[in-house]
Amino acid sequence: MHFNPLDPSFQQNPYPFYDAIRVAAPIYDWPDGNMWLFTQHDDVTTLLRDKRLGRTMDHILTRAERGLQPVAEAEAPFYKLGQHSMFDKEPPDHTRLRSLVHKVFTPRRVENLRGRIQAISDELLDRVIHEGHMDILEDFAVPLPVTVIAELLGVPEADRHRLRPWSRDIVAMYELDHTDEQARRAVQASVEFSDYLRSLAHQRRRQPGDDLISALTLVEEAGDQLTENELISTCVLLLNAGHEATVNVIGNGMLALLTHPDQMRALLGDPALTSTAVEEMMRYDTPLQLFRRWVLEDIDYKGMKFKQGTEVALMFGAANRDPDRFPDPHTFDITRADNPHISFGNGIHYCLGAPLARLELQVAIATLLRRLPGLRLQGDAPRYRDTYVIRGLRELPVVFGG
């Protein structure tokens, strides 16, 4: 079987391929990408928790020792963000960074955002409700989490329009096929965003406010603090992870709901199902399809030997549709109670922002359905973007009312 994530038909619907490969070769050697693909739920969850795999190998082997070219000087600003981010760290560095950030990014701080998330959701719908139509993505799904994370970080309102373009350009580098132009734009965004955050952090050190950047500049544990580079990388991570996934769960999830009228009717009839509906949206069409890891030491897994330095891809989209774990996996069922999807990951790299994402999603979905009666798709079925790792729609036009 041939895995081609650049095939437009695959990008629109990867799930039939996942079904086939999960049966034929659940551990699949993909020579074009020089990595191994894991598609079964049990394998993916097991390997996410396996400390013999990691997000980086830089603490064990240099790029030269792994046979890789050195990072080009022109791309250094982009890679510098990863070098100081907990997302690309392993213990003990990851443990230290996550502990410091967790001290200020607390469940209480997240829960205190509930009222503001509701207010922002209502404000966004107030702008379009008299029109009778909207693009759920551009009019709602994009501005909602960007505004929330901007307010959480303490980014002034006049600067918030810069966040989405910066994030979009940076995350494009996580695709398997980024171009030279995308790399150039990612570097430029990395430089501009880093410079902006550095200036903002300096201001907050002098005049702290009730925001996350102020808290991160002051947080301390056993005499340890975040370095300036670590603070910048943490803020970039919180923006990227804090809104990219939420945007696409709203888009992908609302498309699933709109194309399953029985589930739409059930949720309208019982808003208490919103929580399980959100979990099912994340399982059914997850916005993160693939998560890359490195083999940190020679391992033997299921009778197969993987050498140190081997790259593996944990296929979240395939694992979330594994029939060995989910009965009727291709059925969109908002009442699904036993739903151990892995859209937020697992193990030490489990998404730190999961509570915020869940809160945003629950408020967003409930508000859309409550305030937009007769909500339905407008025109032909929307298409997905020509990306793979981060899966999301180009647009989601809908009409509502009479």
Q: Spell out the domain ranges in the chain.
A: 8-399
Task: Give every CB contact of residue 398 below 8 A, 6+ residues apart in sequence.
Answer: 133, 134, 135, 136, 258, 372, 375, 376, 377, 378
How far apart, in Å, do the first and last CA atoms of the chain sit?
Answer: 49
Task: In whole angstroms, give the CA distance from residue 316 to residue 322.
Answer: 10
The encoded tokens of residue 212 equal 């996350």
pLDDT at position 181 is: 92
Taking CA atoms, 26 is separated from 30, 176, 279, 283, 388, in Å, by 12, 20, 25, 19, 19
Cα angle value 285/289/291 (rounded, 5°): 145
> Hey, which CATH number is domain 8-399, 1.10.630.10, 2.40.10.10, 1.10.10.10, 3.20.20.70?
1.10.630.10
Task: Give every CB contact of residue 327 below 8 A, 6+ residues apart in sequence.
Answer: none
pLDDT at position 248 is: 96
Helices (H), 207-273: 212-218, 228-258, 261-269
CB–CB of 274/267 below 8 Å? yes
pLDDT at position 62 is: 81
Amino acid in the structure at residue 308: Q
pLDDT at position 177 is: 81
Residue at token pair 């430089």: 191
pLDDT values of the chain reduced to their tens digit, one per residue, 402 residues: 789 998 999 999 999 999 999 999 999 999 999 999 999 999 999 999 999 999 988 888 888 887 778 888 888 898 888 888 998 888 999 999 999 998 998 888 999 999 999 999 999 999 999 999 999 999 999 999 999 999 999 999 999 999 999 999 999 998 888 888 999 999 999 999 999 999 999 999 999 999 999 999 999 776 889 999 999 999 999 888 878 899 999 999 999 999 999 999 999 999 999 999 999 999 999 999 999 999 999 999 999 999 999 999 999 999 999 999 999 999 999 999 999 999 999 999 999 899 999 999 999 999 999 999 999 999 988 999 999 999 999 999 999 996
Task: In whole angstroms, give the CA distance from residue 158 to residue 149.
Answer: 14
Task: In whole angstroms, give the CA distance from residue 116 to residue 104.
Answer: 19
The encoded tokens of residue 99 equal 């502990």
pLDDT at position 254 is: 98
Cβ neighbours, 10 Å, residue 8: 10
Sign for the pseudo-dihedral over CA of 391, 261, 118, 274? negative
pLDDT at position 57 is: 87
Question: Residue 372, SS3?
Answer: coil
Query: Taking the model in full, what pTM does it have?
Result: 0.94
Task: In whole angstroms, give the CA distance from residue 287 to residue 251.
Answer: 9
Sign for the pseudo-dihedral over CA of 282, 288, 290, 295? negative
Question: Residue 173, SS3?
Answer: helix
Cα angle value 227/169/62 (rounded, 5°): 55
pLDDT at position 179 is: 86
What H or E segment, with its residue span, contains residue 36?
strand 35-38
CB–CB of 187/170 below 8 Å? no
